[in-house]
C-alpha cells in the first residue's frame, strides 16, 4: 500500500480517497479481460493524481470504477475514511454530491436535447436544490461565470458550441453540487492546444479556490506534468510506477516510464533527447500470464521477468516501481 506523505512539520495530510487492491474484470468471448488488476493508492485532500499510460491500459476504467460508474470485481474503495465498495444505491446517490466526473468527449457527454442552462440545472433538480426558481437561476449564472461562459450561451444547445465551450459546460455541471473530488477523464484530449491551456488553467484555478481533489486521467505526459502533484503510470491494468510528479520526470525508473518520457516533445532545438523505441508484441490483458506484462517489449527483460510475479517496491521515499531490477 502506498504511504501517505506528511505535510511540512510532520503533520499527516488528510486522505480523501484510498483504493486497496482494486480489480475490474470483464468477461469476453476469449476469456477474462483484466482491465484493472490490483491497483492501490492513496490521494490526499487538495492534491491531483495524474494517471497516465497508453490507450487500453485501464486508466479510464480505474476512474469510473472508483466512482461506481462501473462496479469493481474485487478490492476496496474508501472515500473520506468510509468503505464505499458495496454501498447501496441510495447511499451512492448521496455520495454523488461529493464525487463527480468530467468526461473526455464534451459532445457525447451532453444531452443534445437540452440547452446549456438546462444541462447545468439538471443535477440541481435531481437533488432538489434551490426550490426557488430565481435563486436557482442566479446560481446557474454564477456557475457559468465561474467557468468562463457568457450568459448569452445559456439558451444554446451543445451542437451550437465549439469544443472548448462544451467542455466548460461539462465542468460547470460537475461543479453544480459543490463536490470534493472530481475524476477528470482526459478532459482536454479532444480540444485544440490553445483551448487545452485555457481549460487546464481553469481547472487549476478552481482547485485553488474550492480545495478540490482531482484524479486526472490522460495519455499526455506534457499535460499531466503541469497539473499533477503525483503521477501513477499504468500498463495493461497494473500500476508500474508511482511518484511525486517532479521526481518521476527527473528520475523515471521503470523502462516503460522511460520510454513514455522519451516521446515527450522538447521545446528546444539545441537539446536532443534519445528516443526509446518499443518493439515486440503487446501482452494480452485477457487471462494474462504470470510475470511482468511489459516484458515482451522491454529491452532489459530477463527470463526471470517473464516467469515471476512482480510487485511494487518503494525504492526511494514515496517512489514506487514494479520491476524485477528493484526486487
Query: What's the predicted TM-score (pTM) here?
Result: 0.90
CA torsion angle 310 60 203 260 (round to 10): 50
Question: How far apart (Å, rounded) are the C-alpha atoms in residues 52 and 188?
Answer: 14
Which grid coordinates are listed for 118?
Answer: 438546462
pLDDT over threshold 80, residue 175: yes
pLDDT at 7: 44
**pLDDT 10s digits, 72-89:** 999 999 999 999 999 888
**pLDDT 10s digits, 150-173:** 999 999 999 999 988 999 999 999
Question: How far apart (Å, rounded) are the C-alpha atoms in residues 34 and 22?
Answer: 11
**pLDDT 10s digits, 2-54:** 654 444 444 567 999 999 999 999 999 999 999 999 999 999 999 999 999 98
User: Please, what is the average pLDDT of the chain?
Assistant: 89
pLDDT over threshold 50, residue 103: yes
Amino acid at each position: 500500500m502506498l504511504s501517505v506523505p506528511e505535510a511540512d512539520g510532520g503533520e499527516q495530510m488528510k486522505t480523501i480517497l484510498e483504493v486497496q487492491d482494486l480489480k475490474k474484470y470483464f468477461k469476453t468471448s476469449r476469456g477474462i479481460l483484466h482491465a484493472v488488476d490490483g491497483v492501490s493508492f492513496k490521494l490526499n485532500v487538495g492534491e491531483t493524481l495524474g494517471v497516465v499510460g497508453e490507450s487500453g491500459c485501464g486508466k479510464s476504467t480505474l476512474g469510473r470504477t472508483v466512482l461506481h460508474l462501473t462496479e469493481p470485481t474485487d478490492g476496496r474503495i474508501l472515500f473520506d475514511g468510509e468503505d464505499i465498495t458495496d454501498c447501496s444505491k441510495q447511499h451512492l446517490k448521496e455520495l454523488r454530491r461529493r464525487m463527480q466526473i468530467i468526461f473526455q468527449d464534451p459532445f457525447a457527454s451532453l444531452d443534445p436535447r437540452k440547452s446549456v442552462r438546462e444541462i447545468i440545472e439538471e443535477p440541481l433538480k435531481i437533488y432538489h436544490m434551490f426550490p426557488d426558481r430565481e435563486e436557482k437561476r442566479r446560481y446557474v449564472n454564477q456557475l457559468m461565470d465561474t467557468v468562463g461562459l457568457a450568459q448569452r450561451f445559456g439558451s444554446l444547445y451543445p451542437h451550437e458550441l465549439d469544443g472548448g465551450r462544451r467542455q466548460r459546460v461539462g465542468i460547470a455541471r460537475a461543479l453544480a453540487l459543490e463536490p470534493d473530488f472530481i475524476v477528470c477523464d482526459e478532459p482536454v484530449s479532444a480540444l485544440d492546444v490553445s483551448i487545452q491551456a485555457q481549460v487546464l488553467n481553469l481547472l487549476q484555478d478552481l482547485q485553488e479556490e474550492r480545495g478540490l481533489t482531482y484524479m486526472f486521467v490522460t495519455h499526455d505526459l506534457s499535460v499531466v506534468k503541469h497539473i499533477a502533484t503525483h503521477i501513477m503510470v499504468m500498463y495493461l491494468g497494473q500500476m508500474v510506477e508511482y511518484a511525486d510528479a517532479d521526481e518521476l520526470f527527473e528520475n523515471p525508473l521503470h523502462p516503460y516510464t522511460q520510454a513514455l518520457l522519451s516521446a515527450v516533445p522538447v521545446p528546444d532545438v539545441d537539446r536532443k533527447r534519445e528516443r526509446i523505441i518499443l518493439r515486440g508484441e503487446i501482452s494480452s490483458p485477457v487471462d494474462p500470464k504470470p510475470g511482468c506484462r511489459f516484458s515482451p517489449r522491454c529491452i532489459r527483460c530477463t527470463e526471470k521477468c517473464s516467469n515471476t510475479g512482480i510487485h511494487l517496491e518503494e525504492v526511494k521515499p514515496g517512489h514506487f516501481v514494479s520491476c524485477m531490477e528493484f526486487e
